[in-house]
Structure 1
Amino acid sequence: MFRKIAYFTLALFAVFVIVGFLLPREVHVERRITIDRPPSTVFTLVNGFERFESWSPWAPLDPEAVYTYSGPASGVGAKLAWSGDPRLVGSGWQEIIESQPYTLVRMQLDFEQQGRAQSYFQLVGVGRGTELIWGFDTDLVEGQGVFGGLLARYFGLFFDRWIGSDYERGLASLKRLAESLPATDFGDLAVEVVDVPAGNMLYVAGNALDAAPDMASRLATAYAEIREAMADGDLSQAGPPMAITQRLANGRIELLAAIPVEGPVQGLEGEVRAGRAPSGKAVRFVHRGPYEQMAPGYEKLAAYLAAHGLEEGDVSWEQYVSDPSDTPADEMVTHIYALIQASDTAAEPR
């Protein structure tokens, strides 16, 4: 009797081993969703980890988990490490190892004793929206030893259900986040994050500008007055003319016509005043063409800031690099700046 039980047990074990080694050693899980936002918006959200907790399917499981960010805020090298309850989210890290703008983000994952894996986001433009594919790949056997690898093959049978359900929840949360952002596609807008140095300027503001019949004549008159004051004070121009817009504490919008100057300023009279030019962390893009065609660029910049979790400050300005008196309208170059202040979810873009 005992011999039969032993033979039966050995036979079961042999079947367990043979079947186990016939099971796949690699696991692939994939889920997808369509998001009613352009690839530029969706890519921005998955090309870094600063906003990961706001849509991650695992963050609500362990509110006490600690997340640590390192490397650049986005793109290759951006890294997120987490440490939480072993029964809930455990510990590990993930790092972006490949980033192709608006099409692909690939990550290396390390779950410590549970092994390594790779995941990816693939983006496909669909009309004015995006099909987002979230995939997961791992080698179940690597680093697990013979028996550990055998058991891992059996566990691999459940990965699609376990991970797939998490991915479905995460994609649904990401969709809600993305669709709460502006729908404007900013993919063709080349935006830089810059540190603008402090400097002196002469400017005309307030009623002196409001009295002019239109913006062009306002600025032209103001710049003429500023240049006259520069000549009287023997001041050198330090940069292109600017039109500065600033929101005041009372909610009023004030426009300044300004020209950067070198050196200290004294003895001004009339409407021309001296001040400090805007400085600090700002975003900048370059507009090429007539001034009347700037509006779409501003819309794209607003969408860019929202997707990156950046809050626009109270000051923005246009810097007129080209002289309209000797430059064709379609060749004019204007640098557009906006000071930014970081919010809790800000991620400095690459």
Structure 2
Amino acid sequence: MAQTATPAPATPTPAAPAAPATTTPPTPGASAAQPTDADAAAQPFEIKARPAIAVSGAAKWEDGYKAITAALGKARAALLKANLKEGGRPVVAFVDTDDDNFKFQAMIPLDAPVAATVDLGAEAKPAETPAGRAIKFQHRGAYDDVDSTYEAITAFLDEKGYIAQNIFVEEYLNDPKGADDSALEMAIYVFIK
């Protein structure tokens, strides 16, 4: 991932933490939310925690892209400063959301846990990626169009009777140039009860 190019999340509605508050029609070529495998999607799977470096943040939705980009940049700088080995694509865990604001943890997964003696700086800290039962969805297309993906996710969860927890994770699978880059590919993990 480009060191600072990470998209911002869509605004969730209070009733469903992973659902956006507004509808944005997808751009041509953007895909609607689809479970990654039609047969496996109806069945949640267990995600195991991985060691990570995390930088916490909070922002208004309209400033989300900038806030997440900055936080991931700080996490990556801490990783490089401590000479740690990256163990996966960057992720952002949304841990508290409402119509106007959100709180998050921007994380860079690691190959191994951070030793207690490693200095990560003032803002980064050792962490673990979220773990638990989740369903994986894909978004392909500009992040500006992710609202429609979250709406499709909400419809899928409602149809299948799944109850989402108040945490969801976006994993950025490539390096977008910005929120309007239609080449973006990301996985969205919705943790369920």
TM-score for the superposition, normalised by structure 1: 0.39
Residue number in structure 2 paired with 1:196: 47
CA distance in 1, matches of 2:45, 2:183: 24
Q: Offset at 1:325?
A: 3.6
**1:292 equivalent among 139, 144, 147:** 144
CA distance in 1, matches of 2:158, 2:64: 29
Asked whether 1:267 is paired with 2:119, we answer yes
CA distance in 1, matches of 2:74, 2:103: 18
Asked whether 1:320 is paired with 2:169, we answer no
Q: Offset at 1:245?
A: 0.5
Q: Offset at 1:189?
A: 4.0
Residue number in structure 1 paired with 2:38: none
Asked whether 1:215 is paired with 2:64, we answer yes
Q: Deviations over 1:122-174 (max 9, x none)?
A: xxxxxxxxxxxxxxxxxxxxxxxxxxxxxxxxxxxxxxxxxxxxxxxxxxxxx
Residue number in structure 1 paired with 2:87: 238
Residue number in structure 2 paired with 1:68: none
- Percentage identity across paired residues of the two chains: 25
Q: Offset at 1:267?
A: 2.5
Specify whether residues 231 and 297 from structure 1 end up closer, same or farther in structure 2 by C-alpha distance, changes over 3 A only. Answer: same
Q: Offset at 1:197?
A: 1.8
SS at 1:269 equivalent: coil
Residue number in structure 1 paired with 2:153: 301
Size of the aligned set, in residue pairs, is 147
Higher relative contact order (CA 8 A, sep 6+): 2
Q: Deviations over 1:210-259 (max 9, x none)?
A: 49x822221222122111111122211111111211139xxx95212111
Q: Deviations over 1:101-125 (max 9, x none)?
A: xxxxxxxxxxxxxxxxxxxxxxxxx
CA distance in 2, matches of 1:277, 1:189: 23
Q: Deviations over 1:282-328 (max 9, x none)?
A: 011110000010111111111211221111012101111110149x9
**2:56 equivalent among 185, 201, 205:** 205
Q: Which has the larger radius of gyration?
A: 1
Structure 1: 4+ residue segments shifted above 3 A: none
For the aligned residue pairs, the C-alpha RMSD in angstroms reads: 2.4
Residue number in structure 2 paired with 1:258: 107
CA distance in 2, matches of 1:338, 1:306: 13
Which amino acid counterpart does residue 312 of structure 1 have in structure 2?
A
Specify whether residues 262 and 222 from structure 1 end up closer, same or farther in structure 2 by C-alpha distance, changes over 3 A only. Answer: same
Is this contact kept in 1: 2:33–2:150, CA < 8 A? no
Unpaired runs of 5+ in structure 1?
Answer: 1-187, 342-350
Specify whether residues 308 and 316 from structure 1 end up closer, same or farther in structure 2 by C-alpha distance, changes over 3 A only. Answer: same
Unpaired runs of 5+ in structure 2?
Answer: 1-31, 36-40
Structure with the bigger percentage of helix: 1
CA distance in 2, matches of 1:282, 1:189: 15
Residue number in structure 2 paired with 1:48: none
TM-score for the superposition, normalised by structure 2: 0.68
